[in-house]
């Protein structure tokens, strides 16, 4: 029994003096509870909504005030034509548009019936359904208030229109998210293991005495995974077109170029992890835990980023999958060109350049 107790004490000492083990045991559960509690919700808040009020009467003003008072919407009042509204939808600046006809209150008073057009971005079908449900509920509450004590009931009918995905299929939201998730995991994990494997097998010394420059060693490690990831892109797009009946609305060439940029971003992340990690197991763990959860939670694929607290929204901006997810949806579903996604493209380029530079510097330090 004494030997058993001594052995248990020894194991406790091993665990307590290993900071990485303590971080996994205590830090990760706390972080996941906090992140899951704040980030993982299907409720939509602070959605960007534009109100086009052609009536400008008391009835439309009451409904607009109710929309603005709701925590679900951030209302922008604007008078824009159809082309500008469609451009705002394509660029992702708004999620919903509420259009009041010119004779809204007059129709309501004289005909006891009026219509409101509700236009939603259905490239995210769940979000579009939720937002239109919120608007319909607010309109229904106002209608009920009008009908109290009136002999003839007033009726306001929301005319709902779903852009880009009128059938509300799940594939337009599913395919871009899967592309971001698969490319991130495969590119980062495979590259992260490559340099660590060289260190563990002892072949790194051969590379050190070779005439290759450090930059060429890094590029040589990345090129095979770049080509294999491009094959993954082609297979995912082929399945989306031929199996899921989801054609690419925009340019195939632009989509491949943006996918290549994202793959390079992931490869630079994997190389950085590979240089810093001391074993293949550590590199794989960092790749899975450090890339899988942020990609799922902070890309906008599964959970709306607008719902999250401001610190988490800021953190989401450094997750490359968020920007790639926006790019793929814009090209595949909305048919947007480079003029609509140049900001996201520049951000991905900046992230790629940053990790490539620090990876190269870290590799040179290790060589010294």
Least confident of 243-247, 338-342, 353-357: 243-247
Residue with tokens 């449900």: 133
Residue linked to tokens 């925590």 = 71
At residue 15, the pLDDT reads 55
pLDDT score recorded for residue 7: 46
Query: What pLDDT score was predicted for residue 275?
Result: 77
In this predicted model, what pLDDT tens digit does every residue of 121-172 receive, in sequence order? Answer: 887 777 888 888 888 888 888 888 877 766 567 777 787 877 777 766 666 7
Residue 164 has what pLDDT? 77
**What is the mean predicted confidence (pLDDT) over 298-318?**
81
The pLDDT value recorded for residue 75 is: 81
Strand pairing of 96-100 and 73-77? Answer: unpaired
pLDDT range class, residue 308, cuts 50, 70, 90: confident
What percentage of the chain carries pLDDT values higher than 90?
3
- Torsion sign over Cα 312, 317, 319, 324: positive
Q: Name the range with the highest mean pLDDT among 32-41, 75-84, 108-117, 318-327.
A: 318-327
Q: Report d(CA 127, CA 123) in Å as an integer.
A: 9
Tell me the mean pLDDT in the region 278-306. Answer: 77
Dihedral, 280, 283, 285, 287 alpha carbons, nearest 10: -140
Average pLDDT over residues 268-293: 78
Q: What three-state secondary structure class fits 317?
A: coil
pTM for this predicted structure: 0.73
Structure tokens, 354: 């940053």
pLDDT at 346: 92
The residue with tokens 């199996």 is 243
**Of the given ranges (175-179, 195-199, 364-368), which has the lowest mean pLDDT?**
364-368
CA separation, residue 230 to residues 35, 180, 255, 329 (Å): 32, 12, 11, 18
For the chain, first and last CA: distance in Å? Answer: 51
Q: What is the mean pLDDT of residues 328-350?
A: 87
pLDDT at residue 46 tops 70: yes
Share the mean pLDDT of the chain: 77
| E-strand stretches of the chain | 47-53, 73-77, 96-100, 113-121, 155-163
The model's pLDDT over 225-278, given as tens digits with 9 standing for 90+, comes to: 777 788 878 887 887 778 777 778 888 899 999 999 998 888 888 888 887 777
pLDDT greater than 80 at residue 342: yes
Please state the rounded mean pLDDT for residues 61-84.
Answer: 77
Q: What pLDDT does 204 receive?
A: 60
């Amino acid at each position: 029994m004494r030997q058993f107790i001594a052995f248990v004490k020894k194991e406790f000492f091993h665990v307590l003096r290993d900071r990485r083990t303590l971080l996994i045991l205590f830090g990760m559960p706390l972080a996941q509870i906090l992140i899951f509690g704040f980030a993982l919700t299907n409720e939509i808040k602070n959605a960007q909504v534009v109100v086009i009020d052609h009536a400008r009467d008391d009835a439309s003003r009451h409904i607009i005030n109710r929309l603005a008072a709701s925590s679900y919407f951030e209302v922008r009042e604007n008078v824009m034509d159809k082309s500008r509204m469609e451009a705002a939808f394509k660029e992702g600046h708004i999620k919903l548009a509420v259009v009041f006809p010119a004779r809204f209150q007059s129709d309501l008073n004289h005909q006891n019936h009026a219509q409101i057009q509700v236009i939603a971005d259905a490239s995210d079908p769940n979000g579009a359904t939720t937002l239109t449900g919120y608007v319909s509920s607010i309109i229904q509450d106002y209608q009920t208030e009008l009908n109290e004590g009136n002999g003839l009931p007033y009726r306001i009918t929301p005319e709902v229109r779903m852009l880009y995905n009128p059938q509300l299929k799940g594939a337009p939201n599913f395919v871009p998210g899967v592309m971001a998730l698969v490319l991130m995991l495969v590119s980062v994990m495979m590259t992260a293991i490559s340099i660590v494997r060289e260190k563990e097998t002892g072949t790194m010394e051969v590379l050190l005495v070779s005439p290759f420059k450090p930059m060429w060693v890094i590029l040589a490690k990345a090129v095979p995974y770049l080509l294999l990831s491009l094959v993954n892109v082609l297979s995912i797009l082929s399945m989306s077109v031929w199996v899921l009946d989801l054609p690419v609305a925009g340019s195939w060439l632009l989509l491949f170029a943006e996918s290549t940029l994202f793959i390079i971003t992931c490869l630079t992340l994997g190389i950085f992890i590979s240089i810093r990690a001391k074993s293949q197991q550590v590199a794989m763990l960092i790749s899975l835990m450090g890339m899988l959860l942020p990609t799922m939670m902070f890309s906008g694929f599964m959970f709306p980023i607008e719902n999250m607290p401001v610190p988490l929204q800021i953190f989401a901006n450094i997750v490359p999958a968020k920007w790639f997810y926006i790019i793929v949806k814009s090209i595949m579903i909305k048919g947007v060109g480079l003029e609509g996604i140049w900001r996201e493209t520049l951000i991905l380029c900046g992230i790629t350049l940053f990790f490539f530079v620090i990876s190269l510097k870290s590799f040179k330090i290790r060589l010294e």
